[in-house]
Amino acid sequence: MWDMIYGVHWEVDAVNGAVALFLLVSLLAAMNQSRRLSKRIGVLQKELNVMTDCSMGMGDKLILLEAKFRQGGAMAVKKVSEGHHSASV
């Protein structure tokens, strides 16, 4: 009788362990995605601060924006040439 009870407990513990492992992996993946998004938001905030800086003239802002665009395009080409087919830059 005790063998049957302990066997059931072992199976329940294995299922609970598998569910806990799945939830842990899901949580880590969500945290990683959140970290990537927060970094991207930080970069966008910095770009917005530069673009709204009143001390810069409009021509300077456009030159800076063009340079950032070209840099991003060059980075995308580099990623594709390295074998990373990601649309996000």
- The residues spanned by each domain of the chain are 1-52, 55-84
Better pLDDT: 37 or 14: 37
Total count of residues recorded for the chain: 89
Q: What is the model's pLDDT at position 53?
A: 64
| This prediction's pTM | 0.39
Give the CA dihedral 30, 31, 32, 37, nearest 10 degrees.
90
Rg of the chain on CA atoms, in Å: 25
Neighbours of 40 (CB within 10 A): 12
Q: What are the tens digits of pLDDT across the range 4-31?
A: 555 556 666 777 888 888 899 998 888 8
Q: What are the tens digits of pLDDT across the range 49-66?
A: 766 666 667 667 677 777
